[in-house]
Amino acid sequence: MMHHTTKAIIKRELKSYFTTPLGYVFTVIFLFAIGYVTFEPGRGSFFVMRQADLSSFFRYIPWLFIFLIPSTAMRLWAEERKSGTIEFLLTLPVTVPQAVLGKFIAAWIFIALALLGTMPIVFTVAYLGKPDYGVIFLGYFASLLLAGSFLAVGTFFSAITKNQVVSFILSVVFCYIFLMAGSPPILETLSTLFPKYMVSLFEELSILNHFESMGRGVVRLSDLWFFGAMIVGWVYASMSLLDYKKAN
């Protein structure tokens, strides 16, 4: 079902997460940070709320992902471009879409593995009380889709430049815009400039709204469609961009 080249790239990329420090740095920072903020002593702290749900865990997922995922995504193409290996890779009998897909899926699997590393929190709530496993499952599923969307955005900006820092900053900015599209201050500003229809259109783009909506335990077709469109759209854009760069 998947092309052998895509499989080979997934395999290679995944392995490189385990043979280079980067993968470990990412995983350790992510796991430590999410554990820390979940338990962070404060009003919203997990142990202060004393509710056996993962809301104080999932609340921070977008804010960690917004930095960590662009930092994984930035190297996908920018590094290939910088070290010149892109020339080696794309002169192998592989099409650009196959290569983009392979790298994207590998990074996605890697983040899924990092998410899997947060399992202790599930065991924690299971030990402390009676959590709603359906909601937890959906929360993880939504996190995965969120990661996919950020990764797709990051892939695109990684393909645009060979400078990893530029790629990182651009992806963070764009992820932030998508994350905050539905936030009150932004909508407030927009509503003074644009007609109501435009504002509600903008609100629909909010990743956070879709993510939180799923985090509450209900998934609508429009949520899935949104994440699907985000992922497919940005990945497709990355493919076109790389193809286009070939011609220039």
Q: Which residues 125-144 are close enough to bind another protein by CB under 8 A?
A: 127-135, 137-138
Whole-number Å distance between alpha carbons of 215 and 138: 6
**Which tokens go with 60?**
């921070």
Q: How many residues does the chain have?
A: 248
Residue list 75-104, contact with another protein (CB under 8 A)? 83-88, 90-95
Of these, 56, 71, 72, 118, which contacts another protein (CB under 8 A)? 118
Whole-number Å distance between alpha carbons of 5 and 106: 13
Task: Report yes or no: 11 and 37 within 8 Å, Cβ to Cβ.
Answer: no
Nearest approach, Cβ of residue 247 and another protein (Å):
4
Of these, 73, 111, 230, 242, which contacts another protein (CB under 8 A)? 230
Task: Name which of 108 and 227 has its Cβ closer to another protein.
Answer: 227
- Asked if 171 touches another protein (CB under 8 A), the answer is no
- Asked if 166 touches another protein (CB under 8 A), the answer is no
Task: Report yes or no: 156 and 236 within 8 Å, Cβ to Cβ.
Answer: no
Nearest approach, Cβ of residue 78 and another protein (Å):
14
**Which tokens go with 213?**
């909506």
- Asked if 163 touches another protein (CB under 8 A), the answer is no
Q: Which residue has the tokens 């992922």?
A: 231
CA 228 → CA 180, 221, 222, distances in Å? 19, 10, 9
Residue list 9-38, contact with another protein (CB under 8 A)? 9, 11-12, 15-16, 18-20, 23-24, 27-28, 31-32, 35-36, 38
Nearest approach, Cβ of residue 108 and another protein (Å):
18
Residue list 51-80, contact with another protein (CB under 8 A)? 51-53
CA 142 → CA 116, 150, 233, distances in Å? 14, 12, 18
- Asked if 42 touches another protein (CB under 8 A), the answer is no
- Which one-letter amino acid corresponds to residue 148? G
| CB count in 10 Å sphere of residue 175 | 25
Nearest approach, Cβ of residue 66 and another protein (Å):
19
- Asked if 195 touches another protein (CB under 8 A), the answer is no
